[in-house]
Amino acid sequence: MSHYTANLRDIEFCLFDLLGRDKVMGTSLYSEVDRDTAMGMLEEMKRLCENDLAASFVDGDRMGTDFNKATGDVKLPASFIKSYQAYVDGEWWRLDAPVELGGMKVPPSVRWAIAEMVLGSNPAIHIYASGYAFAQVAFVLGNEDQKQIAKLMVDKHWGATMQLTEPDAGSDVGAGRSKAVQQADGTWHITGTKRFITSGDADLYENIVHFVLARREGGGPGTKGLSLFLIPKFMFDHKTGELGKRNGVYVTNVEHKMGLNVSSTCEMNLGEHEPAVGYLLGDVHEGIAQMFKVIEFARMMVGTKAIATLSAGYQHALAYAKTRIQGGDMKVMNDKASPRVTIIHHPDVRRSLMVQKSYSEGMRALVLYTASIQDEIELAQEAGDKDRVADMIALNDLLLPVVKGFGSEKSWTLLGTESLQTFGGSGFTQDWPLEQYVRDAKIDTLYEGTTAIQGLDFFFRKVVKDGGRALGLLGKEIQAFAEAGGNNAEEKAALLKALGDLNAIVGVLVGHAMESQSEAAKIYQVGLNTSRCLMAVGDIITSWLLLRQADIAAEKIATAAGKDKDFYTGKIASAQFFIKNNLPHTTADRKIVEATDGSIMDLPESAF
C-alpha cells in the first residue's frame, strides 16, 4: 500500500476556485493547456505518484546510496531507479525543459501543483530530475555553444548540480576560494573543493553538468568576483553528445545524513589530479546573478517539498485518528464501563488535526498563490506591460523567502509536534512513514539558506532595499479584503488588527536599521527579530488565503451535498480555527519586537 495520497481535491480548489487560473489557461502563452488538460495532467500525476513514484520511498531511505570511493561513483537502489525512470518515461521532464528544446509551456501554477505531488510522494525524484531546469538556465543565459549543451542535456537526459558551498565558507558564498584559470582554447581550469552538493553523482544518467561558482584569476573579493562555469563529469562532442574522457571533477565523499538518504549529498573535488575543464556561462562574469536563477527555483522547490510532506503527514494522522480506538469519550470519562472511542473524539487530538489541516491547506494556497504570480509575470512579459512585470517580479521576490522559510519551518515543526504525535509511540517506529517524513523534512529548513538567512533576505533585500513597495502592494490587497465585510466578519477584523501589528513590527525594525547608520549596535535589534518578522508575515498571508477560501466555501455550501458539503464545511472551519488560534501571536510578536533592547548581544560568551 502506498505511503502517499495526493490531496487533488484541495489542489483543484486552490487553482480554480481561489486563484481563478482557468481564466489564463488556454490563452496566450498557455494556449495548449486549458482547464481540462491541466486536470488530466494532475490526475495522471496523482496516479503516478501514488503508485510508481511512492513505491521506492522506503527503499530509498533504508538502502540509501552506494558510494565507491575508488572511482567516485554513486549507485542508487534498483527500485528507486525504476521510479525515476517512470517519471522520465512519462515525459514529465517536458514541464521544465526549454520549449525550444521539446519542453511544454504550462502555467507555473500548474507546474508547481504537479511538483507538490512528486515532492510529497518521493522528493528525491524531483531533485535528481533538476537537470532539465538547469538546461533552461544554460539555454537562456548561455552563448550559442552552451545552448547546444542545453539541448544535449535535455535530449540525453543528463543530470546537473548547483555547486556553491565550500567547507570553510558555508553560507558565506563570497568567501569561496575555488579558482578558475582561463586556457588558450577559451576553456577554464577550475580547482577547489565543494561541499553539500546535491545529486553530485548517480547512476541515473550517463553524464552530469555541474554549475560551479569559482573566482576567476584576478577576480575581486566577495560575491562580485565569482563567475559561473559549466563543468561536465565526462567531456563530450558538442554536436553529437558522444562521451569522451573523464573530466577532473570527482565525488570524494557522500554525507551520512539523518534523512533524505537516497539523495546523494556529496563533497566534490575539482582539478586535484587532472584538470576540471569548464565553460564560462554566457561569456560573462556574472556568477551570482546567474546562479540566483537556479537558487530561486530551488527555494520554491524546497518550500513546496516541505509543505507537501506536511500534507502527507496530516493525511496519515487523520486516517489513524479515525481508526485507532483508545479511551472513553471525555464527557463520560469517569464511567469505566463506557464504550472505547476512536481518538478523533478526543479534544486535543481534534485540536492537533485542525492545526495540521489549516496549516497544510493554507500553505498549499501560499505556494500556488506565489506560482500564480509567476503566471502573471510571464503573461505581462508577453503583453509588454513593463509596469506590471516590475510589480509582479517584486511580489514574487517578496514571497519566495516566505514559501521557503515559513513553509519549511512550520512544516518541519508540525510534522513532529502534531502529525507524528497523533500516533503516540507508534509514530516513533518505522511501522508508519511519519518518522521518515520528520527526518526528511528537517533538511528543508537548512537547504538553500537557513530560516535565519531567509529572514534576513526578506527584511533587508525584499523590504528595505525595495522601499517596502511589494510589501505595501500585498498589504493593501489584504487590507481591502479584510475591510470588505460579508462572511467571517469577526475573523476579518482580527486579520485587519494583525496586519496593523505587522506594519508596526516592520516599522520598528526599519527604525532600528536607520538608527544603525549612526549607532552600529542598533542593527542587532533588527537581526534578533528578522525571523520573527518572517513568521508573522507567513501567518498573515496564510490567514488571508484561508479566509478567501472560507468566503468561497460559504457561497458554495448552500447548494452542495455529500463530500462537497463536508469539504466546504472543513474550509470554513480551517479558516476560523487558524484566525482564532494562530493570528493572536502577531500581537505578542509586536510586543516582543518593541521590547527588544539588544542586551543579549552584550553578554560575554562565557555566560551562555
Q: Is 448 among the catalytic positions? A: yes
Phi first, then psi: what are they for 134, rounded to 5°? -65, -40
CA angle 450, 456, 462 (to 5 degrees): 120
Q: Which cell numbers hold the place of 259? A: 534523512
CA angle 3, 403, 171 (to 5 degrees): 100
Distance, CA of 148 to CA of 127 (rounded, Å): 23
CB atoms near residue 422 (< 10 Å): 26
| 3-state per-residue secondary structure call for 167-182 | CCCCCCHHHCCCEEEE
| 3-state per-residue secondary structure call for 507-533 | HHHHHHHHHCCCCHHHHHHHHCCHHHH
Residue 24's nearest CA partner among 363, 410, 420, 392 is 392
Contact partners, residue 91, CB within 8 Å, separation at least 6: none
Contact 250, 200 (CB under 8 A): no
DSSP calls for 375-400: HHHHHHHHHT-HHHHHHHHHHHHHHH
Among candidate residues 376, 435, 448, 491, the one labeled active-site is 448
Q: Which cell numbers hold the place of 186? A: 577559451
Q: Which cell numbers hold the place of 258? A: 539523518
Using alpha carbons only, how large is the chain's radius of gyration in Å? Answer: 25
Distance, CA of 397 to CA of 475 (rounded, Å): 15
Active site residues: 448
